[in-house]
Amino acid sequence: MYTTLMALGALLLGMGIGFAVARIGAKKKFAYLELEAQARAKAIENEADRLLHDAKVEIKSQEIELEKGYAQRYEELERREREMIRKGRESDAEKEKAQQLRNQLETRRVYLEELEAQKQAAIEEAIGKMENLASLTEQEAREYILRQVEERSKNEIAAIIRKQEKIAQDDAKRNANYILAQATTRYAGEFAGERLINVVNLPSDEHKGRIIGKEGRNIKSLEQLLGVDIIIDETPGVIVVSNFNLYRRAIATRVIEILVEDGRIHPGRIEEVHKRVQEEFEQKIYEEGENVVIDFGLFPMHEELIKLIGRLKYRASYGQNALAHTLEVARLARVMAAEMDGDEKLALRAGLLHDIGKALTQDFGGSHVDLGVEVCRRYNEHPTVINAILSHHGHTDPDGVESAAVCAADALSAARPGARREVLESFTKRVRDIEAIALAEDGVEQAYAINAGREIRVFVDAGKVNDNQAVYLSHTIAKQIEDTVQYPGEIKVNVIRETRAIDYAR
C-alpha cells in the first residue's frame, strides 16, 4: 500500500513538473512571436513612410515643372508681343522705303523713254545718210544688211554643225565601245565543241552483247527506230551514239540507258521504251523553256513559245548550242539596254525570242527569221520583239534601243573567239540536205543520215511503195543527191520496206 502511494505521488509530481515546463516553453514561444510581429509592423511602418516621402517629392517636382512651364509660356507670349510691335514699326519703314523705290523707278522709266527716242532719231539719221551715200532706199538697205547677216550666219552655223557632228561621232564611238565592254565583261560564255557523239557507260562489257542481240537484231532495231549510229568497239565499258541531230541523239542516249538499267533488251521492249522516252522529252522540253522564262521573270508568255524555247536546247548553229546562244544574247541585250536607258525587260524578252524560229527549221524548213516572225505574231508578241527578229539579220532597221541592243548582242555572241565552228555547220547542213531530199519523195515516212553522212536509210510506207518502186526510189534519191549536194566519196542509199500485221487476242 505504501508503495502504491509512493508511485502515485511520484506520478503527480512528474505531471506537475511537465506542465510547468510546457507553460514556460509556451510563454517563450509567444514572446518570440510577439517580437517578430512587432518587427514586421515596424518594417511596414517604415516602408509606408518611405512611400509617402517619395510621393511628396514626386508631387513637389511636378509642381516645380508646372511652374517652369507657366513661366516659359508667359515669357513666350511677352516675346511674341514685342516681336509684333517691332514688325509693325518695320512695316511702316518698309512702306516708306518702297515708296522711295517706286519714285526712283518712275524717274528711270522716264529717262529710258528719252534714251529710246534719241536712239530712234539716231537710227533714222543714219539711214538717211546711207540712202544719200549709197543711193539705196530704206527697204533696199535693210534687205542688203539682212543678206549679209544671213550669209555670215550660214557659214558660222555650218562650222558649228561640223564641229558638233565630229564631237557627236567621237562621243558615240566612245559610248558604244564602253557599252560593249560593259556587256561583254559581265558575261562569259562557253566555247563551242564539235561534238557529234554521246557516250553511254555500261556496267560491264556483257551488256554490249545484249545491245547487239542475236544476229544483230537488237542493234538493227535501235538504229532503225532511233535514227542514229551505235558504235560498239573494243573500248571497255562504253558504247558511242553518233548523229548530227542533238534531239535525236539525246533520245537515243536516254533509251539505251533505260534498256541497260532494266536489262530486258529486245525489239518489242525497245519500241516501248522509245515511245515512253519521246513523251518524257516533250514534257522535259516544256519544263526547260518554263525554267528559262521563270528565271528571267518574263511571264506571261504563250505555252507554245515556252515549248519552242525548250526545243532550242536540242538545236545547234555552227556548233553553238541555240539555247546557250539565245540566253547569251538576252543577257547581253539587257545590259546594253540598261546602259542606254532602255527597257531592260523588253530587251531581255526580245533577245530570248530573236532566234525562236530555229526551233522550227528542222521540221518546216525555210528562214528562221520568217518562221520566228510568223510564230511571234500569231501569239501577239510585242512589236519590238518582232522588230528585233527582223533586224538582227538585216531584214529591217531597228526601231528602238532594245532592238539595236539585240542586234549588237547577237553579233557579239556569234563573233567572239571559240563561239562557233564553220566546218561543223557545213557538215550538218549537208547531212540535213540529204535527209530533206529523201523526205521529199512520195511514200517516204522517215529518213536518217548515218555514218557521218556517207549512208542514208529511207523507210517507206509498205502500202504505198512496192518492192519494184522501192528499187526505183533508191535510184531517184541517189541521182538527186548527186545533182544537188557537194560531198566527198560516195553516199549509200538504203530504201527499207517493212510490212507488219498486228492483232490482239481478247
Quick: pLDDT tens for 322-373: 888 899 899 988 988 888 888 999 999 999 999 999 888 777 777 889 999 9
Q: 256 pLDDT band (50/70/90 cuts)?
A: very high
Give the pLDDT confidence score for residue 224 in this predicted structure.
84
Backbone angles phi, psi at 256, to 5 degrees: -65, -40
Is residue 192 scored above 50 in pLDDT?
no
Q: 88 pLDDT band (50/70/90 cuts)?
A: low
Quick: pLDDT tens for 144-168: 667 776 776 666 676 677 777 777 7
Give the pLDDT confidence score for residue 346 in this predicted structure.
93
- pTM for the model stands at 0.51
Q: 378 pLDDT band (50/70/90 cuts)?
A: very high
Q: Which one-letter DSSP state was computed for residue 195?
A: -
Higher pLDDT, 110 or 362: 110
Tell me the CB-side half-sphere exposure of residue 453, using CA atoms within 13 A: 21
Give the pLDDT confidence score for residue 194 in this predicted structure.
42
Find all residues with CB under 8 Å of 240, minimum gap 6, and list them: 197, 198, 199, 200, 229, 230, 231, 232, 233
Higher pLDDT, 258 or 233: 258
Q: 309 pLDDT band (50/70/90 cuts)?
A: very high
Is residue 383 scored above 90 in pLDDT?
yes
Is residue 133 scored above 80 in pLDDT?
no
Omega prior to 300 cis, within 30 of 0: yes
